């Protein structure tokens, strides 16, 4: 099947090789006989809610986030409609922050958000940096997710909001709540960089399955020989565990 992917702001948001997540989607789809059709969307280009099966947005520095924040906020209604309709979405770090209601800097300035995720982000005095390990439940599929975080923002989930996972080691959204990321239906937001998906094939396949289901196929994917991916996950998880808990 053809899986239609919207890659938002690839020229602005690609810190820590976050573009590698797209390469993982493409490779894992191709190995199963599917095709990824990737459309890069720059500021000002229209996002039709029903036009894509997967939306991806990476992370960036404050300068790049400031440049694209108004445009992303203006896309908020379209993005929310897409996710309501079953489109899969992955947002990393800066993209995750700006898909909430907004980001407030230490100087009082505010970057608008798209309003998909039920959270707000405020700037902290100290960066939260290091390897992270999460316990995650993806619709009954319980797994661990490992990655790397580097953010000054403190993301505060609304009461009742669903995090991506529980922090086993690392800081997470705000360094105190014990939660990391946010999930709304088929949409996942997270601070985990590195890129995230090469070391987390279970998460990659869950998102790919949601995208395939939206495209009219089955979300059941045949397994792949993921020896290297499992080793990468184990190494990353081990580094996180060596840090201990929060």
Q: What's the CATH code of the domain at 99? A: 3.40.50.880
Per-residue pLDDT reduced to its tens digit, 154-165? 999 999 999 999
Given the residues 7, 34, 93, 214, the one annotated as active site = 93
pLDDT value of residue 244: 66
Structural domain count, the chain: 1
Question: Which residue numbers in the chain have pLDDT < 70?
Answer: 244-246
DSSP state for residue 162 in the 8-state scheme: B
| 187 burial via Cβ count (<10 Å: 0-12, 13-18, 19+) | buried
Distance, in Å, from the CA atom of 198 to the CA atom of 178, rounded to the nearest integer, reads: 24
Compute the Cα dihedral for 75, 71, 40, 27 and give only its sign: negative
Please count the other Cβ atoms lying within 10 Å of the Cβ belonging to residue 139: 10
Distance, in Å, from the CA atom of 110 to the CA atom of 113, rounded to the nearest integer, reads: 9
pLDDT value of residue 140: 96
Using a pLDDT cut of 90, give the percent of the chain over it: 91
Active site residue 193: yes
Given the residues 7, 34, 171, 193, the one annotated as active site = 193
pLDDT value of residue 17: 80
pLDDT value of residue 106: 84
Distance, in Å, from the CA atom of 170 to the CA atom of 128, rounded to the nearest integer, reads: 9
Residue range(s) defining the domain that contains residue 140:
2-243
Active site residue 151: no
pLDDT value of residue 215: 98
pLDDT value of residue 14: 86
């Amino acid at each position: 099947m053809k899986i239609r992917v919207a890659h938002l702001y690839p020229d602005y948001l690609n810190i820590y090789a976050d573009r590698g997540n797209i390469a993982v989607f493409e490779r894992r789809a191709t190995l199963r006989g599917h095709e990824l059709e990737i459309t890069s969307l720059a500021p000002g280009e229209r996002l039709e809610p029903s036009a894509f099966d997967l939306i991806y947005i990476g992370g960036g520095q404050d300068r790049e986030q400031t440049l694209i924040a108004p445009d992303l906020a203006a896309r908020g209604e379209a993005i929310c409609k897409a996710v309501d309709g079953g489109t899969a979405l992955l947002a990393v770090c800066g993209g995750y922050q700006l898909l909430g209601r907004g980001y407030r800097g230490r100087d009082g300035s505010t970057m608008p958000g798209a309003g998909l995720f039920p959270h707000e982000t405020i700037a902290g005095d100290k960066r939260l940096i290091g390897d992270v390990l999460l316990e995650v439940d993806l619709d009954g599929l319980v797994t661990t997710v490992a990655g790397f975080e580097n953010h000054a923002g403190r993301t505060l989930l609304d009461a009742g909001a669903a995090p991506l996972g529980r922090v086993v080691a690392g800081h997470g959204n705000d360094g105190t709540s014990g939660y990391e990321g946010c999930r709304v239906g088929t949409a996942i937001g997270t601070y985990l960089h590195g890129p995230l998906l090469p070391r987390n094939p279970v998460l990659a396949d869950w998102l790919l399955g949601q995208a395939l289901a939206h495209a009219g196929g089955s979300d059941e994917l045949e397994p792949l020989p993921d020896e290297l991916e499992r080793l990468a996950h184990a190494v990353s998880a081990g580094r996180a565990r060596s840090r201990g808990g929060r």
